Structures are given as C-alpha cells and as structure tokens.
A and B are shown apart, each in its own frame.
Chain A
Amino acid sequence: MSPEDFTAIALTAKLAAFSTLLLLILGTPIAWWLASSRTPLKTVVGAIVTLPLVLPPAVLGFYLLVLMGPQGPVGHFTQSLGLGLLPFTFAGLVVGSVIYSMPFVVQPLQQAFSAIGERPMEAAATLRASPWDAFISVALPLARPGFITAAVLGFAHTVGEFGVVLMIGGNIPAKTQVLSMAIYNHVEALEYANAHWLAGGMLVFSFAVLLLLYSRGWNRQP
C-alpha cells in the first residue's frame, strides 16, 4: 500500500471517531425525546432523522453542498462567523457524516430507551432523583447496550461513506480523501492490487464489527 493509502485510512478513522462522538452527543437527546414524547410532531421528526437511510447519498450530498455553499443559508452563516465555507473541508465531511449516519445511532438508542419504559424512571422519582439525575443514573446505564450498538454502527457506517463525501468533500488527498475515495481512485487507475488491499480490509473490518455486535446480542431485548 502507498503512503497515500495510509493517510486515507488515518483520515477515515479520524472522521469516523469525530462523527461518532458528535452523533452520540446529538443523537441521545433526539432518541430520548422520540422514545418518551407523545406529540404528533414526533412522527415528523422521526421520519426526518430516518431519511438518510433511504435517500441516495448523492441526493443528500447535493443538498448539503448547496446549503453549505457560498449561496446557501448555512454557507452565509458560517462565513458570517468567520469560519469560511464547509464544503471541501474536513469539518464539512464531519457535518455530512453526522447527518448521513444519524439514523444508525438514533434508532438503537430510541429502541433502548423505549425498552426501559417509564417504570424505572418513576421509581427513581419516588426515590428523590430529579429527572436529570434519573436520566444519568438510571436511563443511561440501562440503555448501555443501545449505546454500544449505536456507537459501533455509527462508526462503521461513517467509515463506509462514499456518495456524500464525493459531493461535499471532493477527493483532496490528506484533507478529504477517505478510504472509499482511495479505493475508487485505485480502480479508476486500474491499480487492482491496491484496491484489493483496501477493499478487503474494509470487508474484514465490517464483518468483524457485525460479528462483535451479534455476539453481544445487540438485537436482543435487554
């Protein structure tokens, strides 16, 4: 493998790590709200969060490019903050990945929170725990299997991302050139041996991740 390949792998790992962290921070309150709220608004939000699951990544990437571009509202906003424009930057990739992988994090968390139900939270309230205290001391630990599943799925899904990166990140080595891009470049250049190394590595990685999840019984009720 070439040094560029290693750079691409490191960049991909960095992108997935950052995105997973952000996904858990943003996904937890969304999932909690979806699991506990009874407003009709919940179905709308649930559908929006799940949209990236069915939307072609190119469509998602295209809209993100437009929104974050110099004419888009997000672009205006980031420029006014002095942050410049997000497309073709690492930060832009993180934003895209977070949106793209959101359903893979929110759904297991929402399932885990729903499975806990109201009873343990009520018990905590009768034992003098404030709602925030009960969330930290009861809901989070009880939802731990959901968090592991969410983190692993979020990370793995971000690692495999292609379409969104292509649209908003381009293919800039050491900056936005992630693993799937590197594979694409090798295939384009007919360097099948290099492509095999990377693609095979991805295959093994993805299989190992799913093996880990299934061995933990991730789809079992807690």
Chain B
Amino acid sequence: MSTSTGIQARFQLSHPGFTLDVDLDLPGKGVTALFGPSGCGKTTLLRCMAGLTRAAQGQLTVNGEVWQSARSFLPTHQRQLGYVFQEANLFAHLNVQRNLQYGQARVPVADRRIALDSVVELLGIAHMLERMPQGLSGGERQRVAIARALLTSPRLLLMDEPLAALDIARKNEFLPYLERLHDELDIPVVYVSHAPDEVARLADHIVVMQEGRSVATGALTETLARLDLPIHLGEDAGVVLRAVVVELDAEWHLARVEFAGGSLWVRDAGHAIGHAVRVRILARDVSIALAPVAGVSIQNCLPATVEQMAQDYHPALSLLRLRMGTSPLLARLTRRSASALELVPGKPVWVQIKAVALIG
C-alpha cells in the first residue's frame, strides 16, 4: 500500500447537457467544501467519489487506497466511506437505534473505531433511539443520518448539502453539531454546499465549482479572497479569518479576537479567552481611509496594504484585496472613491470595518 496521503480525484463524465471534468488533489484531513451554484456538478462529483455514479473516466485514491482507477472500480459497499444525503434517507422500517446499527453491524469488529455511545452523545440523539424515523423532525433525522454514517468508522465522510432540507431555525440548531464533529473527529469530510455562510463556518479548504469544472481550489481564507474567481458571490463576497479570543471587556460586552495581522473587537459571544473562533468580514462592510480617522463610530480600524484591484459585479463598483499582516481582506467601494483616493496596489491605507460576524 502506498503511503501517500490526501484524496486524489479525477473524474470525467458526460450526460446530455452536462459534463463533469475535474482533477482534484484534496487534503486528507479537515473539511473540504465543494462550493458552487445548483447544477454545477457538486453532487455528481460527490456521487462519483462514493461510487454511486460511475464515471466513464475516473481515478480516486483516498489516503493511499485506490477506490477507482482505469482498471478497477471498488463498489460502494466496499468503500470505507460515510455518506450523508440531502434528505436523511433513513430506513423507514427500522427505529433510530436499528438505523444506527445497520452500518455498524456490517463493519468488522476490529475496524470499529467509533463507539455508538459516543456518537449518540456527540449528536444529542440519546432520547430518540426507540423512535421511528417518521416521527422525527428534519434536523433530528439529519443528526441520526450523520451518526449512522459515522458508525461505519469511515475513512472519508461525504456530505451532500445536509442542511438543504432544513429551515433556518433547524439549521442553527444543527450547525453546532457539525462543528463539534469537525473539532472532535479526525475524519476528512467533503461537504457539498451552495450557501456561503455554511462554507465560511465549516470549511477549511474549498473547491469552487462551475459548470462541471473546478475553477479554484485552496485553503478557505485565501481562496475566498481571490478576485479572479468567475463565480460571483455578489453581496456575499468577503473573507473568513481564524482568530483567538484574547481579551474580554465585561463593561461593554465585547471580546477582542486576534488573527494573523491584527485584532478586532467583536460582540462577546460567551467564549472564554483562548477559544478559537472564525470571523467573517464582508467586503461591503469595509471602507478605506488614507489616514486613521477620528470622530467615527467604527471601532475596528487597522492598517493594511492594497494588494489587488478588480471590477466588481456592477460597473460602478470595484473590489479590492488588501493585506493586514498575513491576512487578506476584501473591500468593496465605488470606482469613483477608489480613483479619488488614488488607490493602487502597494499603497498603504487604513481599513475601517463596520461589522464583523463571529462564526463558530
């Protein structure tokens, strides 16, 4: 067996009106988001990885194990993967406990690395073990589906928009479980999504897809800050930074979070000092000044350098990438402002950040 790590996936598949053609090299740990608009081939790619759809031309290696090559095709049931469908897809004739045990029972005892009790605890489903799937809410069903997939002790967890069928309240109830999963289990996850907020919250690595092709791939922070992506996040363009809570201000209920290149004051979300968080800063919430400005309400004002400028989704707007220390930042301003400030790559400026969302 080879010692190479990571996931090498190459698939070519043609349907009338649709072609999937990707060649990806994904990290063997963390959460990789397959991100893109509906119909861009995310789900098809995921199904190819699972062996549920057989690509005519395909090659897939998962942490050194060949699942598909020019000469071989491992059927789905022989791949050590977990798959979470958009709809939970629980077995209607089995109660929750038996759904959970279905996959676990089919894994040799020696290969079982994940215990039922710990998964039940992690996903908060202990109280519903005796119930039938029909009696569960959408969010509960998805938690059971994830637990069921985890109990096969997969080497790779594939998730196809597990939040798509949930309303906002259920989503918010469900996301913390996904984050715990990410923090507590060392299983690489490939996560399909078209929602930027989910990706910002969960992903470490991102593959941006469009019309069956991968148009950008890389670490989340840097990839989101790229200006040359043909996908238009539009109003949602922005960056996600990893930060750590370093100071709490009890009087004003604020917390100071530090990232590579500066620190920001954010609303105190109750995290202790030392807690790792993600902050999301949208391009539309960033404005630019040539010198630190007095007499404004904005608390977060940091030095930065203009790195790159591009036309935004509207001819009146331009999108700038700046650098604060080693961290990137996107800012959106009108082309007239950019011209008035004589902004060019390399120019030092001050950024004023109106809003910072603390996620995760």
Contacts and interface: CB of A to CB of B under 8 A. Distances in A.
**What does DSSP make chain B's interface, helix, strand, loop or mixed?**
loop
A129 interface: yes
Interface stretch (A27-35, A104-112, A115-123): A115-123
A137 B77 CA distance: 14
A128 B91 contact: no
Contact of B93 (A122, A123, A131, A141): A141
Interface string B77-105: 11001110101011111000000001100
27 contacts: A119-B89, A120-B89, A120-B91, A122-B83, A122-B85, A124-B91, A125-B52, A125-B75, A125-B76, A125-B77, A126-B52, A126-B76, A126-B149, A127-B77, A127-B103, A127-B152, A128-B78, A128-B103, A128-B152, A130-B75, A130-B77, A133-B77, A134-B77, A138-B93, A142-B91, A142-B92, A144-B93
Interface in B189-224: none
Nearest to B51: A125
B23 to A, nearest CB: 24
A144 to B, nearest CB: 8
A135 to B, nearest CB: 12
B107 interface: yes
Given A126-B82, A127-B106, A127-B152, A138 B91 contact: yes
Contacts of A128: 77-78, 103, 106-107, 152
B91 A123 contact: yes
Interface of A: 119-120, 122-131, 133-134, 137-138, 141-142, 144, 222
Contacts of B87: 119
Contacts of B51: 125
B43 to A, nearest CB: 12
B237 interface: no
Contact of B52 (A122, A138, A222): A122
A157 B142 CA distance: 44
Contacts of A124: 77, 91, 102
Contacts of B91: 120, 123-124, 138, 142
Nearest to A127: B103
Given A126-B50, A127-B103, 4 more contacts: A123-B89, A123-B91, A126-B76, A128-B103
B29 interface: no
B93 A129 contact: no
Contacts of B81: 126
A126 B47 CA distance: 11
A120 B107 CA distance: 19
A129 B77 CA distance: 6
B148 interface: yes
Interface of B: 50-52, 75-78, 81-83, 85, 87, 89-93, 102-103, 106-107, 148-149, 152
Contacts, number: 64
Contacts of B77: 124-131, 133-134
B143 to A, nearest CB: 15
A196 to B, nearest CB: 45
The 9 closest A-B pairs by CB, nearest first: A127-B103, A126-B83, A128-B106, A125-B76, A123-B89, A141-B93, A125-B77, A128-B77, A119-B89
A56 B91 CA distance: 42
Contacts of B50: 126
A121 to B, nearest CB: 10
A127 B75 contact: no
A119 B148 contact: no
A129 B52 contact: no
Contacts of A127: 77, 102-103, 106, 148-149, 152
Contacts of B102: 124, 127, 129, 137
Contacts of A144: 93
A137 B78 CA distance: 17
B73 to A, nearest CB: 13
Nearest to A130: B77
Contacts of B78: 128
A142 B106 contact: no
B203 to A, nearest CB: 22
Nearest to B80: A128
Contacts of A126: 50, 52, 76-77, 81-83, 103, 149
A163 B87 CA distance: 50
B152 A123 contact: no
Contacts of B148: 127
Contacts of A125: 51-52, 75-77
A131 to B, nearest CB: 8
A128, A129, A222, most chain B CB atoms within 10 A: A128
Contacts of B85: 119, 122-123
Contacts of A130: 75, 77
Nearest to B93: A141
A123 B51 CA distance: 12
A122 B90 CA distance: 11
